[in-house]
Structure 1
Amino acid sequence: MIRKLVLPVRRALGATVRRLFNVLPRERRFAVYRNFVDCDPEPSERLVLKIAETREELEACFTLLHDAYVGNKFMKPDPSGMRVTIYHALPTTTTLCAKYDGEVVGTLSLIRESVLGFPLQRIFDLNALREKKGNIAEVSALAIDRRFRKTGGSILFPLMKFMYEYCTTFFDTRHLVIAVNPSHIEMYESLLFFTRLSANVVENYDFVNGAPAVGATLDLRTAPEIFRQHYASKPPKRNLYAFFTQVRLPNIKLPPRRFYTTNDPVLTPELLDYFFNQQTRVFSQLSDRKKSLLHTIYDLPAYRAVLPALSENTHDVAVRRRHRRFSVRCPAKFTVVTPEGAERRVNLEVVQLSRYGFRAHALAAVPINVWGEVTIQLGPAEVSRIHVSASRESGDGMYGFRLGEPDLIWRKFVNALYSGSTQADLENATRFMTER
């Protein structure tokens, strides 16, 4: 997938030197790769990195991806001139883009786990990774405009930094996973310190037209220290540690959020219809099961008209309302009175909520079935206070809480989540949330 990383190294080495290079010990090769890093800490202000959110931006991303995949024989040309998959239709997927002079010149997609899972899980086992703490996201659909592939990492590395900041700041992601061509895996291993999911190469990965693939993962919580050890002593343009963890790029336009939600869905019914019905046949070619799951994801009246029709044997499953839950990352404090009459406070991080309760990670033990008050910071200026009790503990300090009578702030916030599917829906529905 990441051919853009390989090109500068290959051009520099040449065919003959490359053959000698390939017989070097693994760590010596990796050290050479790292000497070719080119991450400008002050990229041109003509470069802007943002979430693709308009029809024009998304279409440009999908077109760029299509041309890159066709050129690498990862897909056959599509009549639409775009590469669009069912994973792009999910509200848990975010497409990032790099724009130069207003034109999209780079893109990648981050796919959070959903009822459809991940593209690579059909060939790689993620069970061991799921047993570890933290959410997983697959990095997919990476493409750089051909005109910028000869400029080293002028687009790629800023896009990677944007991905790193977005995952660690907004997307609540700890583990990244990738599926890449075997000829490119050493670049991920040497530069970014991905580790392989398995020792085997999958010879036929249908998601990329049957090309071989290697799976790998990166723990974003431990990555900074590894980067520090290998890059901290290098000059600024080769210091990926400083580039990822210390340098501030004004080129990156992180999404403004009023609330501590963890997704940035942008697909309105009109956009879904345009990309997945009108321009491509993605929806019509889905299996009955995936059509049914899509209806449970977008279970709002405004979306029903653009979703694929259900066959009779799947209709009952799809229209059955699910107990919807929403991913958030809200700091909170639970206060309870002990039998001795003293107040005890426990710091929480609320990670999931619904109409009826929430799940939170606690830094200390929480008494079960004891009522107290929780103060939840829903956003920088939005605080909710609710009577709650912990109903169960599911291990690793994770607790489920049930609600007493929610306050007005909580009710309006949760009602807004249920009534819309895009980040704009949430902002519009809660614009006057603090009014009594």
Structure 2
Amino acid sequence: MNSASKPSTQPPAAAALAGLKVVEMGQLIAGPFCGKTLGEFGADVVKIEAPVSGDPLRNWRLLQDGTSVWWQVQSRNKRSVAIDLRAAEGQELARRLIAEADVLIENFRPGTLEGWGLGWDELREINPGLVMLRISGYGQTGPYRDLPGFGAIGEAMGGLRHLTGEPGRVPMRVGVSIGDTLAALHGTIGVLLALYHRKAHGGPGQVIDVALHEAVFNVMESLLPEYSAFGAVREAAGSALPGIAPSNAYRCADGYVLVAGNGDSIFRRLMEVVERPDLATAPDLQSNAGRVARVDELDAAIGAWTLPRTIDEVLRLLGAARVPAGRVYTAKDIHEDPHYRARDMILRQTTRDGHEVDVPGIVPKLSGTPGSVRSSAPRLGDDTDAVLREAGLTSEQISLLRSKGAIA
């Protein structure tokens, strides 16, 4: 499957989550990203998809032979089982799989699983040790629980969209579905915490309730305490880092660079490089508070120095002075960057249709039990028969279910 040549892309001798059984009912981004992460570290992830249509992510953005290349990342290391969860026979199959699972991942609207007879009260009866991750727009409780919610809405309610973009302009998205991914990462943490509690303390299974907006709100730094203490409403600031100076994007002759000169000694070195020793030694600029008061002047001085120079020249001079700086990477820049490749962050996968495609590597990097890509993303229902046989069904039972349309 995986044609990458570096040893770290091969299955490790002992995966961190080897033996962990996961049933993934989620679709699109939030739930499946959690399943992807667990699968990369050895979990056996069985993904339940609707027959015929499957996960809508299969058809999102750019397609290769009818399948999204995004799918190749999001669903690697998973097995696809096509089950109609709206049919009674499909619901019984799901119970059968969940009864043997350690973890269930779902990101339907609250109440959906209960309507199928697959709510927590029913599932913990058949599997007391089950860890159930539930990701939704607003959580399983509260006055908004029944409202539909996507990642974009979570980003808005969590406070992120208000801060993204230029002052006075329409709020901007960050360019990727960050709300969904933040929820998935919080969900992954919750799963691992619950599994640790079950193993180390003999505790029962439990539900992890992750709301999209809460996952976003959790990374909003000083947003709320600043309002609570001072009545200050943080506003959009473009490319600058409000209250920290100097830290901004500066135009060069051929694009932009990001410069973070906000450490005291770093600031002094930066001012020497940009040929402003007067600012480097100014008494009121030796601390962040003083620099914030004169941030416009500092940004202008740095910008005047970068403007006639190329990005490469700016980065070379700032690097020599040990001032943190970097270019604004495009996909092309990432693909060609030697550091990405040296750290195995670009892997070449072979899809099940025979295509070669470069995909992101695995994070985090564990020294003893690193993650791996063991199998490429499945076609819809690729593993239905194999998984159901493992669950104890006979070939005749599987054929009957297929004839009824309960599986595909």
TM-score of Structure 1 vs Structure 2, range by shorter chain: under 0.3
More contact order relative to length (CA 8 Å, sep ≥ 6): 2
Per residue, is there more helix in 1 or in 2?
2
The structure with the largest alpha-carbon Rg is 2
Higher fraction of strand: 1
TM-score (norm 1): 0.22
